[in-house]
Structures are given as structure tokens and as C-alpha cells.
Structure 1
């Protein structure tokens, strides 16, 4: 008989399981949003209502089939909403698919608020909506998105691991596209490297593609494995139309084997007759059965009530999380902005979140800005770790507070609206008590300069896969600032200390636009006396010596950073004078004149050897970095050209432009023979004379 204590304990455990916020860890190995910030919709608009209807239909249809597409048509057919949702092919339908789809629908409005085109990717599913069609192998997320396991395969297994992985994906590619896979265009498999090491792989296309399109899409991602995964223990490459993943541990659900058929050789034995039961035993059994039945019914009734309550609470959470509203959110300590006239929208970002923090709150959260809480120091101030309402954040206390408050509020509000996986998000600010404070999201890892130049035993040496991954993220972040933001944003102070790394070694660019706020006197004339030592070597010469900046100024800084990531040398320290700035290309070429191989130019800190695929892309990065540090801004490439050249160097039609400087041809390779003879006529005296004339105007 079930005891009363057992029933109460069972109910308590069940209620605790139901009513606590549900964990998404089982489909949440990663969360990758992709937001298009160029087109937005407004609250209660036709587009929002159509989007809500679309997502409701996908929430029903996708878990049943594992994949579903839908369209909500606008009245004039010029503002239709397209969408699709797909679950990973190894999941059981609908129960294995439904939780992830529901979570994606509840979160996409928070991750990409009021965006007309958005997508979010999870381990078990992904979701897309937009006012444009999405089918086709060339529709990728920023071309595609990469994630990888920061752990490496041990040296003794690397060569075989590399070959086994290549063989595995060759087999999986055939299995996914030979017309026999179930679901369509899906394959999983494993192969053994050693007795204690295996490779598990998965790839999948959306089923709307043709076989030819699926092959093209998957091949596009497969070719990234040797270049970007290297010897990483795991890797993920995602696009709208297809994706792949591998790990050194099982991450998918293996198909269950059918039960064995019964042997027809011998019939089953006949059951033995039941023993006779006495009248007393019968009465006791009936009494026990009645008690058990009543107890069971009571438990079931309570379970049903608990399930209904849990479901209603869950639906309430989902309803509130579905599309982000414009109601003020004060969970980070923000308060309604009242200090600036001109409308209630000031002090809010585009999502309607209040960005203003009280000085008293931040002062308490940083323990009165104590030295123990300092986690970084930049040219414009100290950075403190803060804990406010159980949320960790980073607070930058600015040294210089001589800036126009109205302009600062407008610019900070704009910056706080930016969201990109390679941009550190500004949560808000405080302009109070003669203090200017900027509040950022907190990252536990260090800045890039620590990993490049700090030789202490506690700092991890970055391998080639990690360095390439960091470069890819930096370029993506700069491209977002330069080309995807409206208006365009020039960083003005790009350097390794302003590139933070998260727990997965993804780079996050920070402090963009800060120099614009707090160094207005740099916009004209010689500014070297205002530049800190850590910034000067990375700043473009036209900015440092003329006070003029443009997007090409960031390209110069990027070139220095690329060189330092790959070579391990502080080329920025060479730029101590105007003469050295002019001759930097020649100086690097002189350093490399006796280098007979790529390995001679690269850092010796990385003990592992790069792969053949990595060798080509490392060479290309060094090559284009030399163009980035050209003294003439117009001779530097655009960020989109840099990304295309680095990423698609094997099959890209893009060619680097010929330098506009005299004596340099388009065929010259800066790695081998770049002497920058064109700079010979550009003497120090000539440039200094130009600067003096400029300052007299």
C-alpha cells in the first residue's frame, strides 16, 4: 500500500519539477541569433500581427513534420512575412522537436526585437522569419556562422583524427544526398580514431532544396572544416539552408534498433494453472486492491491538477516572452530618464528599454569603485566589475567628462541598440554627479592582448584554429560597424585591449565610438600628445598626425592586429615616430627578407603545426594585412573585401587592388618583396611640413 508520506513526497517533487523555470540545456548547447538591423517594424503594425500569426502556425506544424514553411500575406502583397522552422533530424517527433521550437519562438523577439528579418539557431532546431524568401544554398547567416570546441585533440592522435574526420564527412555527404536518408537530406555517423577516441558527425539540409543544391550547400560547409576546425575536438558550421557539426563525443540520438523477431522453431510454453485461492485471501486481496485504486486515483487527480497549473504558468511565461514589448525594463537598475528635455524616448534604446543607471546603484555595485573591483584599464578610464540585482556587468568610469551631454545621450542610445555576436553590448550609462559611467555586459575572459603577449603560466597559448576563429570574428564585427549599421560607425580606437574574448574564445569588440565622445579635440590638428602609448601604434597615421579619421583608419588598425595575432610580435611598438609609420611596410619586409617559409614569419609560441588548408589562409591573411597598413588610406581595402579575400580565397573572384603608390605593382607580394619604394619620396620632412600647414588653416 502506498503511504501518505510517499504520496506527498512524490507530489512535492513533481510540483517542483513543473513549476520551476524549465531548463533549456537539452537543446541549448548554443544560441546563435542573426538579426538584420536595416529594416524594422513598429508596435501593433500589420507586420507584427502577421508575424505573430505565422509563428503560431509554425509552432503547430513544425514539431509534427520536423520542418515547416509558411507565409503570412499582407493586404497589398508588398509586406509578406515568410518563415520556416526545422528540427534536427535525429529528434523524435513531435515531443523531441516541440520544446525547442517553442523556445525559439519565445526568444527570437527578445534577441532581435522589432527586426523584420531574423533567425535564431539552437542545438536542436532553428527558426527564420523575414519579408524576403530564404530558400537556396547561397542564403547563409552572414555567409555562415562558425562555432568550435576550444579543446584540441592530443598530438599523438591528430594525424589520424584529421583523416578519419575527412573520411567520415565524405561518407555522410553521400548518405545525406543519395535519396535514401530519413528524414530527407540528413545523415549521422561515427568513426573510430583509437580505442578511446571517436568522431561523431551530423549534417542536414532543409528538405526544400534539390539534391544538387543540398550537395552544394553542404560542400560549402565541409570545406571549412580543415581551414577553421583544424584539430579542434568539435566544430559547427551553420547557414540558413544547411549545417554540419562534429564532436569527439556523442551529441545526437542514435536510431533505436527494432526488437528481434520471435523464433518460430518452438512454440511458447503453456501457462501453468493458477493456484487455488482461499476465501480469506480473496477478501484481503480485494481490500488491498480497493485501497490501492483509491490511492492511485487520488494521486492521478492531484497530478492532473499540478500539470494544468504548471501548463498555465508555462503558457503565461511564453506569452510574456513572445515578442519583446516597449514597456520599461528595470531589472538591471535602470530608471526612467527625466534629465533631458525633448521627449520621453530619450534615454531608451529602440527596444524601449531604459538605459539610465543611478550613480548610487553603480557605486554600491562596484563596492564604491574599489581597487579590488578593477578588471581593466583603458585610455579613457578604469573598468570595474559590478554586481547589480544579481547580474554581473562591467562599468567603465570615464576620466574625462568634458563632453556635450545631449550629444553623448544620443550617441550612447544609438550604440546601446547595436546587437551582434562580435560586439560587446552597451547596457546603459550614467551621467550624474559630474561622473560619466558606461555599463557593459560582463565577460569572464581576458582581452586579446593578454593572450597574445602575456607569457605568464596562467595564460593559455592560442592555437591556430583559435587565432583564425578570432580573426574571423573581429572582421565580422568591424564589417557590422562599417556596413550594417545606420549610420556607419568608425571605431577610432581599435586595438587588442579593446577586443575581449568570451568563454568560447569568440571576440567581442568594445569601446567603439568612445574616442569620439571624449577626444573631440582630435578631429583637427596634431593629436599625438593626447594619445596613450597603447593606442598610438595602432592608430592610422592620418588620424594620429592630421586628426582626420575615416573607416579606412580602422582598416589600418585591423592590419596591425592581424599581423600581431599571427606573428606574435608587437608591430605597434615600432610606430613610435612619424618616420617609422611611413616605413612600417619596409621595416616588416626587411625583417622577413631571410624568411624562406611561412613558419619563419609566424609566432613560435604555437607548438602545433598548422594544416595544409590553414597554411593557405594564414598566408592570405598576412598578405592582405600588409595592404591594410598602407600609409595612404585610399590604398587600403574595404572591410568587405578583407572578409571575402580571407574567407573565400580559394574560389573568390575578388582581387586586391593595385596600390596607388608609385613603383608598386599589383603583382608584388608584400610578404616577399614589398619594399615600398614609393614611400622614398614621402620623407619625414615632407609629411611634417604638410602637418604644420594643415594646423595653420
Structure 2
């Protein structure tokens, strides 16, 4: 068992923490005035705890403010409450570490208390009883009644069970002074149960546990001294020199404590203390204890009996414990008990008659050694905490420099609409280290490249736990700047829909701008629909599913999500296809966000961005955009999916002078030759569905935004054949891609 000094230090550190937890950043006055600091330095660990706690208090306005300074970017999007919670967490973590450092050095200095021992059962040979006797019933009831007892403050229990017929059972339980109330009662309950098992049918028995004693008898034992049986434990270290001095000092200390304990009241007869050292020996410590039911004379006689038995059992032994049913004592050369000034007044000096100078020198030497230990124990934690603080500041400074670019990007111009600043906090969990992405993509090797465009390259990667990812690495000269990059991160962090690509993470380091998506096996729609061989794989069932999926994704953005979002860059290359060819809308760099409470009136922008051929005319020429802008792009996509041709590639033969795709389809519609625009590879499937989808596509690309349907109406048109489609007007003529 560890020495009690370590246990007490832990408890005091918990007390420090209690004060700390409730924001008392000054050291509690009650600790300064308490018995925590004594000339014996018994509570050196607590002193270290005090000093570290004081350092934490002094550093509150400095260290913690430094932490907030280094983490300053949090202030831009965290509320004041969250910031205060963060500060509180830092304080608690710092203090836990301080207490830990306080205890570590003392663990090295602490002596191990070998007081733990196996229970010693003594079945006294003073008669037996039968299993069915009245005494047996009374004893069983007495032991059972222990479970219903309430714990007592002084650790002494006097019990009896039965009438006065001569078969009454009597019992006494006693705990060591420092044992807690509940632990004491639990120890006595265990001792009683086990004693009746170990000594069945015995009328008198006693057992000593490490923390308690229990005895029972068939005769009255309260107030009566009993010195047998006895038990002695020794540490095994014998005195080799100056035995006379040692025995005199030992007996002197025990005699002094005996008088104090015997004079104790009816609740406790206990004393503890120490005696001056002798030449060649350390300071002595001892405790004596009697059951408090004894008279002063009986307690004195019981302890004298024990002292007189020392020569026969434990002569000249360093480390002695002696027990009898009515009293016990312990003698050591180190402090094994909890210090209590009320129980341990300053002892008178006990010095050898023939060598007082040597004793004095030994006293000073002992104090010097103790002082050295105290200095070491205080300095080491402070030095370690100082080193920790320096390392922490360096790490925070490194993280601040590393995160500077990221913070600059994320704070640079807010999103459109009334998006709250704390929305930035949603992206913290998505941060991915650049080194992690380098490893996942094999250093962005060409073998893992999935595609390349004006924005940069897309690579396939695999995280260490096996998850496949698509890594979009933006090039420095791409058209997608920091605003678009930030826009996509913050939007996709909020959106969850089966027809929208899922953002897994992002990375900002130096000039690197990287987005990490879920891996979509079949790449983008344009790689299938505009490839003469791959589009053979897309029958009408698959293409119709794509049209419906894109419509559902747009409907979610426009009406069903937390915010209303206009994509503004819907095109075939931004539609990704998963393993089952389900479409997923991607690339939200140009998206515009509005609160659901805002009216969806037209908006204007001076910065027109997107892909010609998919832009609505009012947006391409005047910067005017609304949800109908996305509806126009959807109509172009529908016609491309059915015809297998690009809108910006001219007519059926690809001639530069040929009419654009929308004009060609419109002419065929007017001339009633619309079946000729259907992709020749679509040899199977419902022609009526194909014609209906072309009709819906033409309704979506009408020149006037007011006449275009909303995505809610488009979804109704696709899913309900009872809905009569209106006649489309002439589509807009848009410029080719530049």
C-alpha cells in the first residue's frame, strides 16, 4: 500500500481542483491557514500543489490570454460563451497536469507502507456451541444486523443480540483512526461474516484486518480489558548498534503516547506522535489505540502489557505492529499516519544522556536532508511546468503560422445572404492535413489522376482506413479563386442529399487549395454522354433516371434545404455518376445562398461566371439570376442527355456554321421531325417518355424567365402524365463557350 502522504496529497489536490473548477483563481485562504504546512513538511506534495496552483493563478491573465491570442481566429466565428468554455477547458487541463507533476516526484521519495496483511483469525479455545443453539441464532442475528447499521464518526461499534438467559451474543468492532466512516463499517461487516465462517461453533473469536478489528463472545466484553490472544508484525530490520539508546527512545515515545491515549474520552482513545532521533537512527513515529469502552487504567494496563511483550517478540526491531483485542500500537522510523496537530503536539526532546551533542547534530542533519527533498520536490514540478509552457507556446505559434492562410481564406468576405459567423465552425472537422492527402494520392501521381480541367486536376486517393476519395487540387491559375473555394466548403458542409456530392474535407496550406469528395466511380456525365462508345452504355432507363435525379437535387437546393441555393454552374461535367449511374450534382464554387425567409426575386451581379451554352440569356448578358437560371441549365442538360450532343458544338454535323443545339431541336420541334434529334443509340425505350422529356427541356430553356417552370413543377411534369404540358415558346439563343 502506498504511504498515506501520497494519498493525502491526492485528496488535497482534489480540493484545490474543486476551488479551481468554480473559478476561484486565487488560492483558498483556508489552505494557507490550515495544517497543510508544518515544520515536518509532511504535506510537501500539497505545498507543490499550492505553488503550481499559484502559478496557474498568476498566469491566468498572461498565459491564457496568450492562448486566446494564438487561437485568435476562433473569435471570428465562435460566440462569447463558447470562447469562455474553451478557456475553462484549458484551465482545467493545465491544473490536472500540474497536480500530476506535483505527485510524480514524491512517488519516488515515498516509502511503501507494508501495513497491508492478510486477515488473522483467532478462534479462542473457551468453549463451543451447537448449530441449533440459542447462542447460534443470536450470533447470526447480530452479524446480520451489521448490514443495517449507520456508520459512526469514531469507528467504534458495540453490539449485542439476545435476552438475558445466558445465551446472549456480544461483539465489538474498532477501526484505525484514519479509515473513512463508510469504509470502516464495510470492513467490520466483512470481518464479522468471515470470522463466523472461519471459527464455526466457537463461542469467542477475534480477527484483525488491515483497517479494522472485530471480536465476539458469549460473555460481556464491553468495558472489560482483554489482552489475549495477541498478534505482532515486524518489518524484519534489526538494530545492529546502540540498542540501549534505541530501546530507551522507543519506550519513551510509547509511554508518552500511552498516557495521552488512556486519558481519551468515551469516543476515542488514540494518540500519535514522534520522538527525537538518536545518533545513528532516524526520527521515530508511533501510534497507540485502545477500544474507547475501556477505563483509563485498563487502557494504560493493556498497553503496558503490550510494551512488556516487545522483548519476547520484537526486540530491537525497526518497524513493529502489535495487536490484542483491547488495544494496539505501532512503531516506525518514518511517518506512516496522517498528520493532525490536535493529536500530535510538539514532543519534548528525548536525547541520550551521554551524547547530547551527537543527538543535536543528528537532528540538524535530518532536517537538512528533509529540506533538500522539499527543495527538489518543489523545483522539479515548476521546471517541468515551465518547459511545458514553453513547448505549448511554440506549438501554438507553429499552428498559428500554419493556419494563417486557412484563416485568411475562410474569413475573406462572407457568403451572400444573412449567414451567421458561427457557420464557419461547422468546417473545422473537415480539415485534412496536406501530408495526409499526399500519402493518400501517392504524392498526386499521374497514375491516380482521374481528370484535368481549367480548375486543376482530380486524383483518386485512399485514406489509411481504406476509404476511397476524390481529391480536387486547384491550380494557381484556375478560374476558381478563394471566394469560390470557401463558398463550396461552407455550402457542402450544410447540404446532405443523395443527388448532391458529399464533401469529406478540405486543405489550405500555403498556395494549396484542395477539396476532398466522396469517390464517385464513374466520373462525370460528359465523359459518357459525349463519347460515341461510352454512351452506348446509357440506355433510356439509365438516362431517364439521370434526368429525374438531377431534378430532385435541384429541387432540394431551391426549396427543400435549410437555405435556398442557386447553383449557377450546372453542366454535364458537374454531374458525377456513382456505381449505379445515379447522378450527383457537384462544384458549388459559384453557388449563391439565401435564407429561406428571403423572397426569390431576381438578383444581379457584375461578376458573371459559368459556362456559355448553359447560361440563361438574362444572366449571360445582364448578370440577372434567380432559380430560373438553374432551370435553364437543367433544360440544356435534358436535351444533351437525349440527343448526345453538346449545346456549344453546333448542330448535328458539328459544322461551325451550323445552328446551335437548342435552335436545331426547336426547328425540328416546329417541323414535327423531333424524333430525328434523339440519340441513334437509344434503340429501345419509350418514345413518348423521350418526347415528353424533350418537351420539358424546351419549356425550361424558353427565353423569358417568367415562362420557365420551377423545379417543383418540373418534378411534377416528370412524375405525372396527367399533367398537361404547355406549348413551349422559342428558346433563347446563347453564345458559344469561349
Q: TM-score, normalised by structure 2?
A: 0.37
State the TM-score, normalized to the length of structure 1.
Answer: 0.39
